[in-house]
Amino acid sequence: NLGDDEWTGVTDIVVDPRDSDRIYAATWQHHRNVAAYMGSGPKSAIYRSDDGGQTWKKLSDGLPEGSMGKIGLAISFQQPDVVYAAIELNRRTGGIYRSTDRGNSWEKRSDTVAGGTGPHYYQELYASPHQFDRLYLMDVYMQVSVDGGSTFNKVKSRYRHCDSHALAFKSSDPDYIMVGVDGGIYESFDGAENWHYIENLPVTQFYKVAVDDDEPFYNIYGGTQDNGTQGGPSRTDNVHGIQNSDWRLVLDWDGHQPATEPGNPDIIYAER
């Protein structure tokens, strides 16, 4: 088993497209509580299995020694012996690594590490199924490399929410990309030149909620992850039900604990 202690778990898995028994996995040793955060450890590592996960071999030749942080993995669709790793550490030892021999040895390509609130919040890595050595690194603003991770540039993100986490491709269309961010899902039909927001997913991550005593229907307020503090009605007399337009933004940025004024539903407290 991998990640078999309290502080170590598996953060990424990729499978060889030629052989489904060949699996690569990244483990991450970390610990977080109300008082402190430990973002790395000596059990953070990369492993390969050639028998469908029955046994695992640790891959370390050319990788940083000692403790490592969160690791993202990607595998080339065009040349599956080529594997990539985005390793969270300082910019002298962390960065983008590439192996051309199924992970037996690694070469550092660049010092690029995801940033923002911390690499551990991002660090996912994706390889294009259409172009060899084209990589996408999830970050506050998604980055792209066309040379196997040696250099990166920011992907155009005008009119798109920041904080990228997930990416999907379409095998039949090299210009199509779908990205998941803190603000929802966007898609591009022209290789990330322009983005279209998918509006029919009324979901977000709420931390805490509060209610007021308005009549005839009380209102609900919630602090969200990177989508501010939002409020909306608990019920409606609209025959079509509660609409997205019934909700409003009370305060921007990240929200957490909202509060209301008893007896006065016009007063709302929020934090960011």
Give the CATH number of the domain where residue 94 resides: 2.130.10.10
Q: How far apart are CA 214 and CA 190, in angstroms?
A: 47
Tell me whether residue 194 is in a domain.
Answer: no
Q: Please, which pLDDT band fits residue 161 given cuts at 50, 70 and 90? A: confident
Tell me whether residue 185 is in a domain.
Answer: no
The mean pLDDT of 222-249, rounded to a whole number, is: 91
Tell me whether residue 41 is in a domain.
Answer: yes
User: Phi then psi for 40, rounded to 5 degrees?
Assistant: -155, 170
229 and 270 Cβ atoms separated by less than 8 Å: yes
3-state secondary structure of 121: helix
pLDDT at 119: 67
Tell me whether residue 179 is in a domain.
Answer: no
Q: How far apart are CA 140 and CA 134, in angstroms?
A: 19
Q: Which residues contact 186 (CB under 8 A, 6 or more apart)?
A: 160, 161, 178, 179, 195, 196, 197, 198
pLDDT at 102: 98
Range of the domain at 23: 8-155
How does pLDDT run across 168-220, given as a tens digit for each residue? Answer: 999 999 999 999 998 899 999 999 999 999 988 877 889 999 999 999 999 99
Tell me whether residue 38 is in a domain.
Answer: yes
Co-location of 27 and 142 in the same domain? yes
Tally of domains in the chain: 2
Q: Which residues contact 72 (CB under 8 A, 6 or more apart)?
A: 11, 12, 26, 85, 86, 123, 124, 125, 137, 138
The mean pLDDT of 246-254, rounded to a whole number, is: 91
Q: Please, which pLDDT band fits residue 3 given cuts at 50, 70 and 90? A: low
Co-location of 40 and 114 in the same domain? yes
Co-location of 29 and 141 in the same domain? yes
Which of 88, 122, 155 represents a domain boundary (last residue)?
155
pLDDT at 263: 95
Say what the pTM is: 0.87
Q: How far apart are CA 132 and CA 247, in angstroms?
A: 44
Co-location of 32 and 113 in the same domain? yes
Co-location of 145 and 211 in the same domain? no
Which residue type occupies 111?
D
With tokens 């307020």, the residue in question is 221
